[in-house]
Amino acid sequence: MGSGETEDSSMASQERGDIYSRITADIIAAIEAGAADFTMPWHHDGASTSRPINVVSNKPYRGINTLALWAAATRRGYASGVWGTYQQWNAKSAQVQRGESGTTVVFWKIGDRVGQNQYNDSVDHEAGHYRILARAYTVFNSAQVDGYTPPELPILANSERIDAADRFCSNLGIDVRHGGDRAFYTPTGDFVQMPEFQKFYDGVSYYAVLLHESGHASGAKHRLDRDLSGRFGSEAYAMEECVVEILSALICADLSLSIVPRPDHASYIASWLKVLRNDTRAIFTASSKAQQAADWMHAQQSAADTKQRSAA
């Protein structure tokens, strides 16, 4: 390998490290800013803007990019979920306002053993057989540009959102039992225990908690086999909570459900900050695992729909 290749490799490695540091620093700042009232960067009101999408592809951002854009939107008070690069806004005949600073998102070029590759914005950093190259992009919210009006999106009635959430959770095929005053998932019995529906403030609160506990169930060995102990050691349980918190926020955004602070997670905040400060890739792994679980949950919807059509 020539000296030029060595220099290029070193610069690429430095850029990747800077990407991890920059995004992690933003997430840490968002967690610290909301720690007093337990508001985390993934909490949202369930509005259509809660699902960041790209202005050109109209596809939602994924993984760490969703979390980074949530944090930026909360910090700056953006009411829109539409984002794009400077060039993409130009392509839409819109102009980024002078003096506006963008938000960093990251995409990975993923190569396999036979040399094929693809670009992705959500990748499992624990998958050692992949060759991963990170590339940063700067995106701007539609609130930062002139000449663009976000499309008006339909607002679902509360009853419609609750019905959709009920179908979604039912299609997961996870054993849910009711009774008592605590919500939890037990790995030994592989079931989710929930208080009765009427003990919750409203239907949205019930399904947000059910999705959280179902998130834990998604990590069971016969499902996604999610084991964070090798990655995070003594902080594995706290980071599992972080993964499931992000997962629940992703699904709630898809279902137009709000997700609000949970004071019972106060004990985890210090652990999350400790891990993130010591490991700039930790939140990338947590977000990737959350996206993987969200993808699994959505896949169960397709499988359930196929089964119902076959039965009909």
Q: Tens digit of pLDDT for each residue in 56-81?
A: 999 999 999 999 999 999 999 998 99
pTM confidence score: 0.87
Per-residue model confidence (pLDDT) at position 13: 47
Q: How confident is the model at residue 82 (pLDDT cuts 50, 70, 90)?
A: very high
Which of the four pLDDT bands, split at 50, 70 and 90, describes residue 122? low
Domain range list for the chain = 3-146, 158-311
CA distance 74 to 44: 9
Q: What mean pLDDT is predicted for residues 232-237?
A: 94
Q: What's the CA gap between 250 and 241, in Å, rounded? A: 14
pLDDT band at 276 (very low <50, low <70, confident <90, very high): very high
- For residue 149, with 0-12 CB atoms within 10 Å meaning exposed, 13-18 middle and 19 or more buried, which class applies? exposed
pLDDT of residue 117: 47
Residue 235, classed as helix, strand or coil, is: helix
pLDDT of 14: 45
> For the segment 98-118, what is each residue's pLDDT rounded down to a tens digit?
999 999 999 887 665 544 445
Lowest mean pLDDT: which of 181-195, 200-214, 254-268? 254-268
- pLDDT on residue 153: 76
**What is the rounded distance in angstroms from the CA atom of residue 167 to the CA atom of residue 185?**
20
Beta pairing partners, 117: 111
- On whether the CB atoms of residues 298 and 252 are closer than 8 A, the answer is no
Q: Which residue has tokens 């086999």?
A: 225
pLDDT of residue 266: 81
Is the separation of the CB atoms in 81 and 48 below 8 Å?
yes
- Calculate mean pLDDT across residues 155-163: 89
Digit-coded pLDDT (tens) for 279-302: 999 999 999 999 999 999 999 998
Say yes or no to pLDDT of 9 above 90: no
CA 281/CA 126 separation, integer angstroms: 11
**pLDDT tier, 3 (very low <50, low <70, confident <90, very high otherwise):** very low
Burial zone of 213 (CB within 10 Å; 0-12 exposed, 13-18 middle, 19+ buried):
buried
Exposed/middle/buried for 86, CB within 10 Å: 0-12, 13-18, 19+? middle
